[in-house]
Structures are given as structure tokens and as C-alpha cells.
Chain A
Amino acid sequence: MHEYIAIAVLIGLATLIALIAIVLGELFGPKKKSAVKSMPYESGMDPYGEGTRRMPVHFYLIAVLFILFDIEVVFFLPWAVVFRKLGLFGLIEMIIFIAILLVGYVYAWKKGALEWE
């Protein structure tokens, strides 16, 4: 448990460093605001429309696939720790689990979920 308090102390220190850096910049930097300066940067053109507009649906697809496979990796972790105790049974069981997952992977691939135009 002590170890986690050490990490919490480190988190506090890191946040402090970040805050000090920002405060330093706020203290010493010039503050001459103007309408042109506070426009979003668009290579010199006047910005057109909202900045956060609709985005390609493909990014959502990648996110969903990521969740699937990341959970798979999370399943792998405890399996890897006790792998020597599980022996052959563990290996075969994991192969079956991955085989089921690979069906979905192949489906996503063939459906073109991994392609970018």
C-alpha cells in the first residue's frame, strides 16, 4: 500500500511542476490581446465555420475495434502471469479464445473496416 502513496506523492509533484511552468509563463509573458490573435489558426485564411465539426465515422470504428482488442490484451495479462502453472491446458484454451476473436478480426478486415481512403 505504501508504494501507491509514493506514486500519489509523485503525481502531486508532477502536477506542481506543470502548474509552476504555466504560472511562470502567465507572469512573465506579455499580454496584448487582439481580435486577430485570438482567432483559430488556419494558415492565414479567415476561419470558416466551427472548429469542431463532424468527423469521419472511421475514427469511431477504430475506437470500437480498439476496445475489443484492448480487452483481449487485458485477458492476456493474468494468463501470462500464471502461464507456467496452467501448462498445455492454458495454451490451448487461449488459442480457442483467440480463434473466436480472430473470426471477428477477419470479418472486420474483409468488410473494409481497416481500410482508409
Chain B
Amino acid sequence: MTPVRIVEGRAIPLGRKNIDTDVIIPAHYLKTISRVGLGRGAFETIRAEPGNLFDEPQFARAPILIAGDNFGCGSSREHAAWAMLDMGITAVIAPSYSDIFSGNAVKNGIVPVVLPQAAVDRLLEVARDHPITVDLESCTVTTPFQDRFAFEMDPFRRECLLGGLDEVGMTMAQGARIDAYERGAAADRPWLSAA
């Protein structure tokens, strides 16, 4: 995974609430066995709306997306994160996310920034015509107009994003602990492996 520190550039001011995973990537694109190429199906239903933001040239390959509450609700499909990455998006700003989506985002090097609605409203306004900056090092979002919004992120997630860490490899290094847990569980609940 590519480490991320700063995401800077145009931000798509989508602003809508409850953007679900079927909107981010419809199910008929999930029949792939690859992680790349999904950008072509991303936000298909919104892109079908005349005059939608995704068609505006200044937002082509914009690295940031700004949305409303509950972004990424719905299915667990990691294809949503892959599709956004394929479009060039590496940071999202919203008041809240579905739990599964924010986990998937982090695992793919997309920064899910949580900011209160008032801050999101201001950024939606600025993003129409100006770039914004997400700095994961200082945990701030800034605009060219002295706006500075601090956000919080779980330290482990932040560490993974900053370091581009491979979680599977990290956990495999803990093999001895997992072995010990398995021995204890097998003694306490022998029926667990009886399946």
C-alpha cells in the first residue's frame, strides 16, 4: 500500500448524505476478479444525472471527495474503495462513515476524514472553485482562505496510512500469540474445531 501523508488538490463537493455502496459502485461491476479498472463504473447513477459534478472538467481526477453523513453505507464491498482509488480519490471528508467503508478505505490508502457538518459545509463552499489540503501528519484540513479544521483519527489507522503498512504481514509476525490463543480456546471450548 502506498503511504499517504498529504492529499492536496481539487475536492468534489458532492455533499449528499447516505451515499451507499451501490451508488459508489453498482453490483454489476463486482464480477471482476481484479482490483483495478473499477473507476469506469464509479458513481454511475450520479454520473447519469445531467450536469452532475463528476462531469465538470475541474473535478476530473480530483483527489478528494466531500460528502454528507453516513458515507459508504450498505455493502461490505471493498470494490467501493478500489473504484474510488481508480478514479484518483485518496481522501474523503464527511461527518460520518459506515464502519465497514472507513475500514476498507484505510486498507487501501484512502484517508476517511471526519469533520462536523459545519466544517463540511464550509469546505463544500470553498471546494466549488478552490483546492483544499488534507494533512494526515498534523490531522488538519486547510483551504487557501485560512480555514483550518482539525480532525481526529484512530492512531493505529493513522499509523497504517502514514506508513503504508501491510496489516497481514504485521499480524503474521504475531503468530506465537495466535498459537497461544488457539491452544487456550481448544482447551476451553474443544467443540469449536469439531465442525
- Co-assembled chains A and B: no
